[in-house]
Amino acid sequence: MAVKYTGKELQEKTLRDFTVVRNIASACGFKDQRFPRVIDHGQTELCLFTITLLQGPSLSVILNAHKLDIKAKLSICYQTWFTIRGLQNMGYCHGDIKPGHFMTQRNHNAGFLTIIDFGLARRFRSSRPSDSPMGTPKYASIAAHSGRPTGQCDDFQSWLMMCFEMFAPLPWAEEQDLDKMQDLKKQWHFEKCLPDQYVGLADAFSRLKEAFWNATPQDEIDSTNFGAVIQSVGVACGAPDITGPWLPPVNLEPELTQVSNKSEKEPEKNRAEEHKAEEKKPSEKKAISKKPQTKPKE
């Protein structure tokens, strides 16, 4: 178990994390593995506290420790979409979607990623203070760069960046100027960034991008079909079943011992080296159908 507590004179970010986790616990209890499994929560005269099940390594650590095949990567895309959609069904935007905020579970038979850290979470279309942090710049939504109110599109923009990075480097990964980074995100074209063997994936990502990239915080995003779009890539790549539980590789534990104490900069470096190796592979262009072949499982 993991115990998290803080004094009542806590900062706004910590209080919001506590509030959202408490609300999720009230709505889900132990039923939904996509969210922290809260054993108890409450407050005393001195502090607020939550007791949750201890989580395993983060997705960021896993991506650094192991070279995943395309089926595993698409399964991660599918699972993280399904988790974000579940959070939005409760009326929340996470505000800081990135690999480090998705955790595996220590029970190796529980193959679901759990989303954590709700310090920047907000209700849809709620105002964002001018001094509010934008989250992790590399994955921040276009609106977050300008301090605009939060909408459903924000989390899906960050999610698409996170998914894309498993296959190729983000064009703005090394950019330090936030204004230039925002411009690069606005002008992002997948077909110019992905290796040739991922031509089908570029088409699928483009279809997803059209649904929310230019949306406003007031727009309602119908993400029902996103899972089917991801599934269509799996079908084209010979991996039709990507919707079930995803388990980290069984030989991951020794590698995690070596990387668990490294910063998030190191996973980015290793993934960049992997992307260079991918670019040297011979082209395996595979077209995918324009219409999804199966419906996502709810």
CATH number at residue 98: 1.10.510.10
Are residue 91 and residue 238 in the same domain, yes or no?
yes
Length of the chain: 298
Residue 223: which domain range?
A: 57-105+133-279
Are residue 32 and residue 144 in the same domain, yes or no?
no
Residue 288 within any structural domain of the chain: no
The total domain count for the chain is 2
Are residue 15 and residue 92 in the same domain, yes or no?
no
pTM across the whole model: 0.78
Query: Which pLDDT score is estimated for 5?
Result: 56
Order of strands across the sheet that contains 47-52: 2-7, 47-52, 38-43
pLDDT in tens, 162-204: 999 999 999 999 999 999 999 999 999 877 788 887 878 988 9
Query: Which pLDDT score is estimated for 258?
Result: 40
- pLDDT of 143 > 70? The answer is yes
Query: Which pLDDT score is estimated for 295?
Result: 43
pLDDT over 70, % of the chain: 68
Are residue 164 and residue 250 in the same domain, yes or no?
yes
Residue 66 within any structural domain of the chain: yes
- pLDDT of 262 > 60? The answer is no
Beta strands in 36-155 (DSSP E): 38-43, 47-52, 55-58, 92-93, 102-105, 114-115, 122-123
Residue type, 116: I
- pLDDT of 7 > 80? The answer is no
CA angle 272, 274, 275 (to 5 degrees): 65
pLDDT over 90, % of the chain: 31
pLDDT in tens, 15-65: 777 778 778 777 776 577 788 776 666 677 777 776 767 677 889 999 988
Angle, in degrees to the nearest 10, between helices 226-236 and 70-89:
170
Strand, coil or helix: what is 162?
Answer: helix
